[in-house]
Amino acid sequence: MLRAAAILFVTFCTESALAQVLSTSVGNTEITEMAGGLDTPWAVGILPDGSFLVTERDGNLLYVQDGEANAVSGAPKVSASGQGGLLDVTIPRDFNQSREVFLTFSKPQKGGAGTAVAVARLSENGTRLTNLRVIFEASPGGSGGRHFGSRVVEANDGTLFVTIGDRGDGPQAQDLSNVIGSVIRINRDGSVPSDNPFIGQAEIRPEIWSYGHRNPQGTDLDRRGRLWVSEHGARGGDEVNLVKPGANYGWPVISYGTHYSGEKIGEGTSKPGMEQPRLYWDPSIAPSGLMVYSGDMFPEWRGDIFVGSLKFDYIARLSGDPLREVEQIKGPETERVRDIVQAPDGAIWFISVGQGAVYRLARSS
């Protein structure tokens, strides 16, 4: 009953609805609300027919099509505590054939909760998930209720990259006997690809692709198939990293931030054998979703990286080598941007937690 009642407050807007005009580096753009009245939305996944799925952190999965938003039954049971809950949703390239969707969530476990990945089939009418199965979970669980990471992206070869936060226990991110504070790579059935960097090495989890991460909440592939990740620092030191197999990204040994108490973190900002970020922010912007743009609607932005800011309420556009923030896309609609994705037509969709809405950013007609 609670799940169904939540939908009564969801509104849906078509592209013909009144759009707000926002000035950007490519001229005036239009922002249209695609769904509103959402309760702590976390991720959006756009389906091939233009309908879409939205996760709400308390455990609701919503399906929106043709002006209607409906609850999807069969979503996994989540531990909706602190930063945990129902988190990412990813639509694979073969959705039209497989009808599969991937979800990440904080899974109840002994001692707390851990980041988990599930796959299920979406019914033809979008009202239910069937054959739900958990293909990976980070255990043992923690009780802190924070730093789940929890983005999942499909690589060009069909494997899955999943980001897992340090659960608030920084030293775990340097311990390769568990997956805490890492990016993992798994096959779609949860098995381990044979070419992962630590295959066959004793006392190292074979799923690990990279490690030394704090709380990576944004990830995407660029046009070359390379993996980019945005992650929260502590007090300062938010990072954007180009992730390489087997690499150590330093947390909590090196950082450009400080502890919230003001105390120094680790050993400084660099150390041999540890990767440097491609960009860092100080003060922190609280980065969440990340998207590398490759669409046709905004050819001027191809190859640029877009990162949502939860703290300062804008979308950062990053470009150049060295990478730098070149634009802040900001308006009332960008209050606490949680997720950002590219639609098939090249429009940019994003979630505003502050507005409880999904928006579409498009070139003005």
Amino acid at 262: G
Sheet holding 238-243, edge to edge: 216-221, 227-231, 238-243, 279-281
Between CA 26 and CA 40 the distance in angstroms is 31
- Is 147 catalytic? The answer is yes
Rounded to a whole number of angstroms, the distance between the first and last alpha carbons of the chain is 42
| C-alpha distances in Å from residue 293, one per residue of 86, 102, 148, 212, 341 | 26, 22, 25, 26, 9
Between CA 212 and CA 201 the distance in angstroms is 18
- Do the Cβ atoms of 237 and 265 come closer than 8 Å? yes
Tokens 């295959």: give the residue: 199
- Contacts of residue 344, Cβ cutoff 8 Å, sequence gap at least 6: 46, 48
Amino acid at 131: N
- Do the Cβ atoms of 298 and 346 come closer than 8 Å? yes
Q: Which long-range contacts (CB under 8 A, 24 or more apart) does 257-263 make?
A: 257/233, 257/282, 257/284, 258/234, 259/234, 259/235, 260/234, 260/235, 262/235
Catalytic residues: 147
